[in-house]
Structure formats: structure tokens, C-alpha cells
Chains A and B, each alone.
Chain A
Amino acid sequence: NAGVTQTPKFQVLKTGQSMTLQCAQDMNHEYMSWYRQDPGMGLRLIHYSVGAGITDQGEVPNGYNVSRSTTEDFPLRLLSAAPSQTSVYFCASSRGGNTDTQYFGPGTRLTVL
């Protein structure tokens, strides 16, 4: 199993550009999440999904869109990039349940100029 994969590993955007961060998992997990990690802020939840066709907002959803058309994929879209979105983005998946353990991807380092 590849686990959770993310592409690209690095990306530089100009303010106002749009892009999609890709995330895929091959563990047949129902739950998938996107986090961003900033120095001193820890991991903050952007959006999450409890299954195909179901998504909801996390703590910091503004400026991001998600969709979940398949169990395997959970892309994160930046509609109009801003310098405040410079961060490291992690995708995670899990089976769910009260004792849920999350499996994280390797991350995407995004810089917005």
C-alpha cells in the first residue's frame, strides 16, 4: 500500500492564482481531512469528509474548496491564492470511530508570493 499520497511536494504561486492540491489514499478509508501547519500554530483543520459526496468545514475553511467524488481522492482547491495561504498542507485519512487513528500524507509546501 502507498498509504496517503500528496502532489505536488512543493508549489509557488502568485497572488490570485488558483490551484488544486491532490490527495489520494489506497486504504479504503471513509474519512479524509485537510490540515494546514504554520509555525507556532500547530495543525489546523481546513475541511474534512466522512465519505464520498459528503464534506464539511473545519476550523479555517475560508479560501479553500473541497469535493469528494470517490473514496480514494480528496482534492483541495485554492480559488484565488493569497500570501496568508503560504503554509504546509497535510492530507490525512482514517477509518473513523471514536478512537480514530489518522494516517498523514507527506505534505505540500505552498508559497504564495
Chain B
Amino acid sequence: SQKIEQNSEALNIQEGKTATLTCNYTNYSPAYLQWYRQDPGRGPVFLLLIRENEKEKRKERLKVTFDTTLKQSLFHITASQPADSATYLCARLGSSNTGKLIFGQGTTLQVKP
């Protein structure tokens, strides 16, 4: 099956450090990947999209990379803050033009002051 997997273990880091979250995919080569943020009790919110021909994408303190050889996307938060604490979800389209996103299970990030 076409899976998309994230590390289910929570990531705990100290404020000011860089957080790195991993998204792996198997049996499929997505044309792009999306990253969402989800706070407790709320719906996911879109953060970034990266296409397969883009090695890296940045938005303020966020950076996403896409390695088609390793079948992996990395999501980085530099100079992390306690307000960055949330669950981060990786997603790809199940099939084009249908709005069907396939999500990973998400990784919870906890940034300690």
C-alpha cells in the first residue's frame, strides 16, 4: 500500500534549538508533500507545500526538504519557541483533483522553555 509515515514518538527539545521532524513514504512517489500544524482540540492548519522538483522550501523559521532518493521529507523549525509546541502532520494527495489527502499519523513536538 502507499503509506506515509511519521515518527509517532513525541519530540522534546529546548527552546532555541532546531526541531527536525521526519516524513517517510513508501510504494509511491508523490508529486508533492504538504505539512500541517494541529493544536489540541483544533483542526489542522496548512503550513507548507513542497514539490518533488524542489529540494527545499522556506517560510520564516520553517524549512521543508524533499529527498526523492531517500523517499523522505524533513520539516525543520529553527530557533524553536514554546508556542511551536503542537502536532505536525505530513500529507500527500491520494489521487489528483479529488481533494483526497493521505495523512501520516503526526509527530507531537514539545518545546520546553
Contacts and interface: CB of A to CB of B under 8 A. Distances in A.
From B8, B93, B99, residue with most partner A Cβ within 10 Å: B99
Interface string A59-90: 00000000000000000000000000000001
A30 to B, nearest CB: 8
Interface residues of B, number: 26
B53 interface: no
Nearest to A103: B46
Given A98-B31, A102-B46, A43 B100 contact: no
Contacts of A104: 43-45
A50 B99 CA distance: 7
Interface string A19-42: 000000000000111010000111
A33 B100 CA distance: 7
Given A90-B43, A104-B43, A98 B97 contact: yes
B105 A45 contact: no
Given A32-B99, A48-B100, A101-B49, A90 B34 contact: no
Interface of B: 8, 31-32, 34, 41-46, 49, 51, 89, 93-94, 96-106
Interface of A: 4, 31-33, 35, 40-45, 48, 50, 56, 58, 90, 92-94, 96-107
